[in-house]
Structure 1
Amino acid sequence: MDRQRIIRFSAVTALTLAALFTTLALLQHLLVPALVWWSPQLETSFYDLGFFGAYRAQSYVSFNLTSPQASILQWEDSCDNGYIFLDPSGKAPKHPGPLILDAKGNLVWTSDQFKTTTNLKLQRYQGADYLTFWSGKKAQTMGTGAYYMMDSNYTVVRKVDAVGEALHGDLHEFKITKDDTALLTVYNLTNADLTGMGWFRTDHGWITDSIFQEVDIATGALLFEWKATDHFRAEGSYMTNPLGGYYAGNPFDFFHINSVEKDAHGNYLISSRHFHTVMCIDGQTGDVLWQLGGRSTDFRDLSQGKASDFSWQHDARWLSEEDGLLSLFDNGVAWPHVDVPYSEGRIIHIDVTNRTATLLHSYRSLASPRSSSQGSVQPISGAHGEDHIFVGWGSSAAYSEHAMDGQLLCETHFAAAVSFWWERVKSYRAFKASAWSATPAAWDPSAKIEGSKLFVSWNGATDVAFWELQGCEAAEGEEGGTGEFHALDITEKHAFEESFSLPTGAASMSRYRVAALDRDHAIIRHSNVAVPPPSSRYMIFLITGNLAAVCVAAVVGYWVLRRRAWHVDWKQYTVDRSKYQKLW
């Protein structure tokens, strides 16, 4: 290929790419908004295709943090109750951290006080509800940190740690039992015999041991501890890591515990992601009582393998011990392992006496994502008291609500579905609670004026039903002022942030504030006082006055300089060009 043809080919390629990018830009910024304006129902499709970006964030005037601008793909009124608990993380969110939304995806509370959190949910301790979560340093698929309990004022009242030298709480589990104890997971670097794995591994290899503990919350005392290395060997793992186990910097995570639950008999139900197994642990001896799934399942599958063929699963729970009902999130994927076309939630019936297992129900997403990690399944009550299943899709930024039989009722995405594979944003689990009543203790409602409007919000407050705009003409001590605020307007609270149009002219005030009202119109708390900026007439007068002052000062200054003969003889700096000749 000669030089001319190379230049021509390069030019055509560059022009083609430029035309493509120009077309996409026009499509995104002109055509798509026009189509959405003309047909609003198209917005969800464009959202999932990524035309609004991989992650669309909602910003506020009166609040300095953002929240995901969610897209509801399917909706049914029986989902319209309660609160959603998430922990958005990944590269897309500006601030990772705990997040509470209402049923429609509107922000209720978020915080940047904790850099990374997981497992935010509502739990009961000593008869009261607490927000609980893990926070610490996340390293790939595990973490080192502690567990926090917040009361209904968003005040951290307890911090729970793992017990043992150099042991730290892991991000996967913090479960409060009916005995007011805590179940937590710990990942610990240790040595193990890895000769059974081959590839020149030694009897002094390096692994990440999976541990769970039961800890007394009030005293911090260790009540029970179980280690996977006491019962299982690394060669039984389904996980492959050709470089893992040779040195401490790259240990082999052979077991990967990710959920723990205590049953009525004092035994523990745990999930091992890398053994593809849900197992029951004796609460006295630590022995494995039975295993469902994996290489050593103890159950005969009556559903052609569908009750026990789950893999890379999360969040194994008892739905009913008496009826033998288990729930779990079947990922089916752990890159580079891909075992299924899509992830799903499952409810499985097991007969421990006869050792049989039957798949009862499965739950799928509209997007049919392959969630390579994380995920949860939770039984909840619908808006009318019916039994629902709430599914968090883990590494895929979505949550959904289903009827018990598997019918999809509602689904919400908090990132574009086209970006699920890239995991730009994700939430380890997603939970829903029918009720949460909270009033922040450390901060008041926030009011801010922008233009001719006043915006107001109150991060975390759940009992605000109305906002009342109040104003006063002048502060106490100012001329003609008493400092008393009077009610000017009232609006019902629908979203996280509401706004008021400020009165103008003679009706305008020198100061404004907003009162948060409950359903009975009783005042809960007042916002800060917001002072409107000077009016446009005043600004014009101010600018004109300043310009006039500058002109007067310039004239006076020039006159003074002239009077005192302070002038410059510019002739002394004139260049005599006759001394120079033009060079040719």
Structure 2
Amino acid sequence: NVMLSETYEPTSQMTNGDSLIKANGQAFELTSRGTGVVTLSLPTYVDLIGLNTTESKGWVLQGVIQEIELGTGKVVFEWKSLDHIPLNETFATLATDGDGKSPATAFNYLDVNSVSLTTFHGDNFLVSGHNTHTIYFINRTTSNVDWRLNGKASSFSLSDAAKFHYQHDVHFLGKDENDIMLISLFNNDANSHTKVSPQSAGLTLVLDINQMTATLKKRYAAPTPGISSPTGGNLQQLSNGNYFIGWGAASPFFTEFLPNGTVVMHVEYAPLNATTGGSPSITRSAWNGRPQDEPLIAGLASGSGNNQSTTYYASWNGATEVAAWQFHAVDLIGGTPKPTVMETVQRTGFETQWIVKGKRDMGFAEAVDWEGKVLGETDWVNVVAA
């Protein structure tokens, strides 16, 4: 796990504290105490008690949570699922989620895909088990599972609307003085071979710790019907109180909602089909990227005679403050390159183009922000034939 500055240069790096345990790439969260919390996976040879198999032993992929100091790499907390969660809580099968015959095909009985820090009765963790349909409250002091939400061994009574399956991205959102907790999660309601309902959704749930009941506060469904995400997906509470959803690895969409469920933004950045994927997680945050690399430009001449033209293409990978490009066509006059035509073109995405009449010799461009301030300038490049 690598942290980058606004120039995209590494500022710190965190590695897990055991080379035999592999980060599963599903969750990483920074804390206010200078540590990072990461989810990992560890193939372990164990008794297959509680599973529908004739084999007495096999390889199981257990989930691991580590909290690691950023500066030193020291592991200050470690939790392993097989010490606390039995195999019979799983909804996975040896036929679909690893046959358990080798470390490479270890049975993924839990699939820890999310960890969230809480301030509920101390600094503790909410951990999501994808294949058990359960959220676990992990006591950081004792490492015990203090309670389970949903699944086969739920500590709570859940309303039907509050139930979930194959979930991702659980977050602790807060609590009141009466121990009423608010959490959020992305309810996939599907995996790669099972679909519980036709549509995935974001959920906010109210947990009454005294009565041990869980009820739905709000369900956030995509404005495009039929979005079912077998893997990935996230629900983020924004600083303005809105909710932002990335619809998972199979759905190239993201949506922002008002707390009451009204859609204020919905983006479909690729068609929804069998060959187009989405992202496992999409978040919205304030970010000013200022790459150290200079912007780039290319110029291509095409046509002939009076129909000749030159097309310039400008881009600056990672520069988020560019609002427009000031393009300059350059001609050789008496052997000396001189800018002869200039036009400001609004940025149109990763790459912005400008077409000017005639075959030009060279060109360059300046990236400018919304106030017209020059942020960077490309090299002067020769125009080549298309």
Q: TM-score, normalised by structure 2?
A: 0.88
User: What is the rounded CA distance, in whole Å, between the counterparts of 1:228 and 1:378 in structure 2?
Assistant: 26
Q: What is residue 269 of structure 2 aligned with on the other side?
A: 414
Check if 1:331 corresponds to 2:185.
no
Q: What is residue 441 of structure 1 aligned with on the other side?
A: 292
Q: 1:534 to 1:443 in 2, by over 3 A?
A: closer
What SS class does the counterpart of residue 312 from structure 1 fall into? coil
- Aligned pairs for 1:260-275 within 5 A: 260-264=115-119, 265-275=122-132
Asked if the contact 2:49/2:87 (under 8 Å) is kept, the reply is no
- Aligned pairs for 1:313-328 within 5 A: 313-322=167-176, 324-328=181-185
Q: How far 1:240 sits from its partner (Å)?
A: 1.4
Q: What is residue 280 of structure 1 aligned with on the other side?
A: 137
Out of 36, 42, 64, the position equivalent to 1:211 is 64
What SS class does the counterpart of residue 381 from structure 2 fall into? coil
Q: How far 1:472 sits from its partner (Å)?
A: 4.4
Q: What is residue 230 of structure 1 aligned with on the other side?
A: 83
Q: What is residue 221 of structure 1 aligned with on the other side?
A: 74
Which structure: larger Rg? 1
Q: What is residue 226 of structure 2 aligned with on the other side?
A: 368
User: What is the rounded CA distance, in whole Å, between the counterparts of 1:450 and 1:363 in structure 2?
Assistant: 50
Check if 1:491 corresponds to 2:342.
no
Asked if the contact 1:447/1:527 (under 8 Å) is kept, the reply is no
Q: How far 1:450 sits from its partner (Å)?
A: 4.5
Q: How far 1:471 sits from its partner (Å)?
A: 4.5
Asked if the contact 1:161/1:168 (under 8 Å) is kept, the reply is no
Q: Report the AA paired with residue 224 of structure 1.
A: F
Q: What is residue 284 of structure 2 aligned with on the other side?
A: 432
Q: Whose strand fraction is larger, Structure 1's or Structure 2's?
A: 2
Check if 1:526 corresponds to 2:381.
no
Q: How far 1:373 sits from its partner (Å)?
A: 1.6
What SS class does the counterpart of residue 324 from structure 1 fall into? strand
Asked if the contact 1:201/1:246 (under 8 Å) is kept, the reply is no
Q: How far 1:410 sits from its partner (Å)?
A: 3.1
Out of 462, 465, 470, the position equivalent to 2:320 is 462
Check if 1:200 corresponds to 2:54.
yes
- Aligned pairs for 1:219-258 within 5 A: 219-242=72-95, 244-258=99-113
Moved more, 518-527 or 361-370: 518-527
Q: 1:362 to 1:337 in 2, by over 3 A?
A: same
Query: What do you get for the CA RMSD once the two structures are aligned?
Result: 2.4
User: What is the rounded CA distance, in whole Å, between the counterparts of 1:245 and 1:312 in structure 2?
Assistant: 21
- Aligned pairs for 1:471-486 within 5 A: 471-474=329-332, 479=334, 481=336, 485=339
After superposition, the C-alpha distances for 1:98-127 in whole angstroms (9 at most, x for unaligned) are xxxxxxxxxxxxxxxxxxxxxxxxxxxxxx
After superposition, the C-alpha distances for 1:480-527 in whole angstroms (9 at most, x for unaligned) are 53x5657722233343332233354xxx76322111122332322111
User: What is the rounded CA distance, in whole Å, between the counterparts of 1:210 and 1:533 in structure 2?
Assistant: 55
Q: What is residue 28 of structure 2 aligned with on the other side?
A: 174
Q: Report the AA paired with residue 337 of structure 1.
A: T
Q: 1:502 to 1:336 in 2, by over 3 A?
A: closer
Q: 1:464 to 1:362 in 2, by over 3 A?
A: same
After superposition, the C-alpha distances for 1:245-276 in whole angstroms (9 at most, x for unaligned) are 24444221111100011122210111011111
Q: Report the AA paired with residue 220 of structure 1.
A: G
User: What is the rounded CA distance, in whole Å, between the counterparts of 1:498 and 1:278 in structure 2?
Assistant: 46
Q: 1:494 to 1:176 in 2, by over 3 A?
A: same
Asked if the contact 1:447/1:529 (under 8 Å) is kept, the reply is no
Q: Report the AA paired with residue 361 of structure 1.
A: K
Q: 1:226 to 1:503 in 2, by over 3 A?
A: same
Q: Report the AA paired with residue 512 of structure 1.
A: G
May I ask how many residue pairs the two structures share in their alignment?
370
Q: Report the AA paired with residue 368 of structure 2.
A: L
Asked if the contact 2:298/2:383 (under 8 Å) is kept, the reply is no
What SS class does the counterpart of residue 306 from structure 1 fall into? helix
Q: What is residue 351 of structure 1 aligned with on the other side?
A: 208
User: What is the rounded CA distance, in whole Å, between the counterparts of 1:356 and 1:362 in structure 2?
Assistant: 17
Q: What is residue 405 of structure 1 aligned with on the other side?
A: 260
Asked if the contact 2:301/2:360 (under 8 Å) is kept, the reply is no
- Aligned pairs for 1:489-568 within 5 A: 489-504=343-358, 510-533=361-384
What SS class does the counterpart of residue 225 from structure 1 fall into? strand
Q: Percent identity?
A: 25
Q: How far 1:325 sits from its partner (Å)?
A: 1.0
Q: How far 1:363 sits from its partner (Å)?
A: 1.1
User: What is the rounded CA distance, in whole Å, between the counterparts of 2:282 and 2:335 in structure 1?
Assistant: 55
Q: TM-score, normalised by structure 1?
A: 0.59
User: What is the rounded CA distance, in whole Å, between the counterparts of 2:221 and 2:383 in structure 1?
Assistant: 51
Q: 1:327 to 1:423 in 2, by over 3 A?
A: farther
Q: 1:156 to 1:466 in 2, by over 3 A?
A: same
Q: Whose helix fraction is larger, Structure 1's or Structure 2's?
A: 1
- Structure 1 unaligned segments of length 5 or more: list them: 1-146, 536-584
